[in-house]
Structure 1
Amino acid sequence: MTTSIPFYRLLSVEARKLFDTRSGKIMTVILIVLTLMSITARSVIDGPQLGTLIGTAGIGFSTLLPVIGILTVTGEWSHRTALTTFALEPRRLRVLAAKCLPPLITAMAASLFAMLVAVPVTAAVASAQDVPAGWEITPLALLGWTATNVLVVAMGLSVGMLLLNAPAAIVICLATPMLWSVVARLGATGAALTEWLDLGSAATPLMVGDMTGGDAARLAASMIFWIVIPMTLGVMRVLRKEVN
């Protein structure tokens, strides 16, 4: 009689895959270094404002975190290890769930790391420049900013799951903000489409901790468009895809 693989073991294996690979290690180092450098540089230039410094880290996060999610769900297919993985655990849905959780947790950990860096940097720069530190930031804004980073990773996971091709998914995720900025200038229709379908624009009220009912509706629509639909189609594709 065989016993099923515990989910925590699948989760542990997928978490190791995320950070043990060469690309995973490089992305982690770049994420840490970029966070430290961007926060420090911004504090020297614009002064010790905690909210501004934390938001600065989000610029790098919006680029790197989706890539981490994409590489997580496409790695099995690019390295042709899916056959081994699904042979050891034939229930593909459990494997996919174990793959998606580590990048989402990483987004929360990266957000916490940025906050832990920004606080002492704010205090140190305020002391060095002999100016008052700006600590004004609400817990709701911190939660919203963290949630936005998680949504960015979820978008990367969804697009990667749908395409199962890392370069194509990365190009789409990185080019999308630029494309939406163009669409927003195409009159009233383009502006409306951007408000409802651009995840970055729709998540802005969440990031600053000031959402209304209309903001929530627009965020929900963009999440359905960029996360729910691609993830659903991607999961269906993986469950039915022939592995060789």
Structure 2
Amino acid sequence: MNRAHPKGRPIPFPRLLSVETRKLFDTRAGMVVTGILILVSLGAIVGRGLVTGPHWHTLVGTAGIGFGTLLPVLGILTVTNEWSHRTTLTTFALEPRRARVLAAKCLPPLILAVAASAFAMLVAVPVTAVIGRVQDVSATWEVAPGALLAWTASNVLVVAMGLALGMLLLNAPAAIVICLSTTVVWSVVSRLGAAGEALAGWLDLNTNAASLMSGDMTGDDAARLATSMLCWIAVPTAIGVVRTVRREVS
């Protein structure tokens, strides 16, 4: 039985965080996306290992294919589901300070990105060892710790982008389409001459995050990444927060 919250006292943030974390996985869409994410990650790691051999770092990075597609979707669903299901009235009635609710909604997907990265690293260990034994070759385990941290950070960035677009649009289908089509769009833009190439070079978050994962980021690379983060994460998040806080709920 849920304990009633004392009237007049603010709801503790840990309780809000717990509730929003449960919402992330309790919905049908959340459970389906999470299940697919696990299966795709496992399949990608095993399949890549059978093809390329027991190279642990390579197998870990292979999981990023599914992460880059499905983790942002979970972030988008987290901040848009209640608007589409019209349950925001109840949520904001129980906690009128909407900024706290948004913070509690955004933290679980970001933490999930870190957990998913750690999951891929752990799964790749036995897969690498078994494939090395089956193929009778020496497994490759060498990897710079900074490369793993950078890869994890890139997964967090794509989730942050999904959250930002979700808060900005408050419409899951539109945010998902934009989020998943950016790679193709920027690829086309980069082929539109020098201006298009320059624009994509500064604003394509996925490409600029790749320089972070490479481990040899220069000052110019850092400036490009910061610019794309400002465009796709900081500005949409700020506008989305203002829009959510001021929007009428019916």
| TM-score, normalization by structure 2 | 0.96
Tell me, yes or no, if structure 1 residue 99 matches structure 2 residue 105.
yes
Decide which of 236, 240, 245 is 1:239's aligned counterpart: 245
Measure, in 1, the Cα distance between the counterparts of 2:56 and 2:128.
6
Tell me, yes or no, if structure 1 residue 225 matches structure 2 residue 225.
no
What is the Cα-based RMSD across aligned positions, in Å? 0.8
Decide which of 150, 165, 185 is 2:191's aligned counterpart: 185
Code of the residue aligned with 1:168 in structure 2: it is: A
Question: Could you tell me the percent identity over the aligned residues?
Answer: 68
Which consecutive segments of 4 or more residues in structure 1 shift more than 3 A? none
Kindly state the Cα deviation for residue 137 of structure 1 after the two structures are TM-superposed: 1.5
Pairs aligned (count): 244
Measure, in 2, the Cα distance between the counterparts of 1:169 and 1:48.
37
Measure, in 2, the Cα distance between the counterparts of 1:6 and 1:14.
13
Measure, in 2, the Cα distance between the counterparts of 1:192 and 1:113.
36
Structure 2: 5+ residue runs without aligned partners? 1-6
Equivalent in the alignment of 1:31: 37
SS in 2 for 1:116: helix
Equivalent in the alignment of 1:133: 139
Kindly state the Cα deviation for residue 186 of structure 1 after the two structures are TM-superposed: 1.5
In the TM superposition, what whole-angstrom CA distance separates every residue of 1:99-145 from its partner, at most 9, and x where no partner exists? Answer: 00000000000000000011111111011101111212210000000
Equivalent in the alignment of 1:58: 64
Structure 1: 5+ residue runs without aligned partners? none
Query: CA 1:191–1:136 in 2, change beyond 3 Å: closer, same or farther?
Result: farther
Contact 1:142–1:209 (Cα < 8 Å) also in 2: no
Measure, in 1, the Cα distance between the counterparts of 2:76 and 2:36.
16
Equivalent in the alignment of 1:77: 83
Measure, in 2, the Cα distance between the counterparts of 1:210 and 1:50.
20
Query: CA 1:23–1:215 in 2, change beyond 3 Å: closer, same or farther?
Result: same
Code of the residue aligned with 1:94 in structure 2: it is: R
Kindly state the Cα deviation for residue 23 of structure 1 after the two structures are TM-superposed: 0.8
Decide which of 128, 132, 144 is 2:150's aligned counterpart: 144
Equivalent in the alignment of 1:123: 129
Code of the residue aligned with 1:173 in structure 2: it is: C
Decide which of 111, 126, 129 is 2:117's aligned counterpart: 111
| TM-score, normalization by structure 1 | 0.98
Kindly state the Cα deviation for residue 208 of structure 1 after the two structures are TM-superposed: 2.1
